[in-house]
Amino acid sequence: MAPPLNPVPSVSPTAVAAPTSVWRLLAVAAPHFGALLVMVQTETDLVGRIGFVLAWAILNCFWIALLRRPALSGALSLTLVVILVLLSRLKHDVVQMTANFVDLMVIDRDTAAFLFTIFPNLRWSAIGAAVVVVPLMYALWWLDPFRIRRLPALAALMAGLAGLTGYALTWPDEAWRGYYDDGYLSKFARSGVTAVSDFSSYGFMESDAVITERLKLPLEDSCHPSGRRPHIIMVHDESSFDIRQAAGVKTPKGYGSHFNSWDGKARKFLAESNGGPSWFTEYNVLAGLSSRSFGPFSYFVTRIASGRVERGLPLALRRCGYSTISLYPAFGAFMSARSFQTTTGVERFYDAKDLGAKGVEPDSFFYDSAARLMAEQPPTNPLFMFVYLAANHFPWETKFRPDMTPGWRAPGNVPVVDEYLRRQAMSVDHYGAFVAKLKKQFPAQPFLIVRYGDHQPEFAPGILDPNMDEASLGKKLQSYDPRYYATYYAIDAINFEPVKSATVMDTIDGPYLPLVIQEAAGIPLDPSFEEQKKIMLRCKGLFYACKDGAEARRFNRLLIDAGMIKNL
């Protein structure tokens, strides 16, 4: 009998399952190894690493309580951590600060659209990441064999939150560390505890609890200016300051005249932000108040103030018969700009879409739009117009509209500074053309034009103090050292002589600009601005910094009691 053929070797179920089990275990472990690498790379000390571990545990427990799958929960947690690190680095590049807990309220459709406009490649990076991440998450859902009950996960989540609270109380959040380009997750987690604590202590905005003084409510028919009321144009000169404050910077011939007023004087404007958040200054110059009163919530000051702070320059001018218009270079919902400006008295708000802007536009685009809208107004009706420029916005690594400066010769600084100077030169040319157009198109009408730099550019600290380390710089910024916040304000006039006033000081804090404008235009002040004028004179141009914030807190309470600030 012939021997039987060799049978096909059999494979045991255990042998088949073993490689599969290894892959599934790796799927659970891999996100934690990834998190460990991120922690080693971004957290520089033991305290930061403790905060990272607590935050990592809270994230995982949250997703496990929701999905019950540890592999997918770890992957989602790692994805969020990586996104936080990238956003923190982006924010630090723009405003020298890393992301914190309250920034969650800033992320919306219009904020994202604005970032995609400034960084066009960011859109494709986001799409590419989504193409990779979504299938990976689906694969993890399918591969993960483990299920964890929700109740233990919720208990672990609560324990983690308690641990994070104790951690934040043991090592309190030091605001100046926000200027360090590290510790992204630990600082974010700790800032959450701080934000909740601050909100429970004083709400969104600082103010005295009780005062005996009261403001009179302004009467609608109480504004009777002497002489002709000029049209008032307020120009938001993006990221502009006199760069000669930095030693060793080479500037073109004739540089600096743009910062002078009609009387030949150069004056300083102390902003409340450095490097990027223009909306801080937007709040200053429209509401006439300090963003610093909002403490850790100041980053989204215009959102909070929207519908709540019914006081400001446009409202005061409307009381005196002015029409009020604003031209805005981004989407109107960005940082609640449209709603905030409407709350302060802007009647007609035109955002980038309304104006037909295609991305970032040169200053001439907004000046031409301003002249066109002005021509539509009755010549006898005084007009307030807020012209918000954007051409000198970061980044300066690429040339913006080189066709507009064909004869430009770089002075010989580092490329970023030379591009910044070129854009400033472009702004000077466009502003000069705008003034010439006003004189020609409206030959008999009076104008008061007030320009200001909203903050220094993000590279300014590096050229003001090139040898300063990151820790020292963070402390300087946190203490509001004037060197890092000083820009300029300038007053110009056409067919009008600005009224002399003690408020037109050589150096002013940003919240005083609405008061300066009204005084220079000869507009009678309402009771709130009369009171603020007294503060300005006795504090010599300082506002929040006067008496460690006591004057600002008292003034906020006056406005609250008068009904001009609500629900804060």
Residue 226 lies in a domain: no
Residue 392 lies in a domain: yes
Residue 558 lies in a domain: no
Residue 393 lies in a domain: yes
Give the DSSP letter string of 39-80: HHHH--SHHHHHHHHHHHHHHHHHHHHHH--HHHHHHHHHHH
pLDDT in the model for residue 380: 83
Residue 176 lies in a domain: yes
Pair of tokens at residue 566: 């609500």
178 and 314 share a domain? no
Per-residue exposure over 292-325, b if at least 16 CB sit within 10 Å of its own CB, e if not = bbbbbbbbbbbbbbbebbbbbbbbbbbbbebbbb
188 and 251 share a domain? no
How many CB atoms within 10 Å of residue 211? 14
172 and 33 share a domain? yes
Per-residue exposure over 451-476, b if at least 16 CB sit within 10 Å of its own CB, e if not = bbbbbbbbbbbbbbbeeeeeeebbbb
pLDDT in the model for residue 488: 98
333 and 273 share a domain? yes
Residue 445 lies in a domain: no
How many CB atoms within 10 Å of residue 259? 23
| Contact of 392 with 329, CB cutoff 8 Å | no
Where among 194, 214, 249 does a domain terminate? 194
- Across the 568 residues of the chain, what is the mean pLDDT of every consecutive 10-residue run? 44 44 74 91 90 92 87 85 84 70 61 61 65 68 77 92 89 70 86 78 84 78 79 97 95 95 97 89 98 87 93 95 96 89 97 93 97 91 96 91 94 96 97 97 96 95 88 84 96 96 97 98 94 97 96 96 92
372 and 465 share a domain? yes
DSSP single-letter state for residue 379: T
258 and 148 share a domain? no
DSSP single-letter state for residue 102: G
Residue 51 lies in a domain: yes
352 and 476 share a domain? yes
CATH of the domain at 476: 3.40.720.10
388 and 486 share a domain? yes
Residue 421 lies in a domain: no
125 and 240 share a domain? no
pLDDT in the model for residue 100: 76
Q: Which domain holds residue 91?
A: 18-194
138 and 261 share a domain? no
237 and 161 share a domain? no
Number of domains forming the structure of the chain:
2
Where among 194, 213, 239 does a domain terminate? 194
155 and 253 share a domain? no
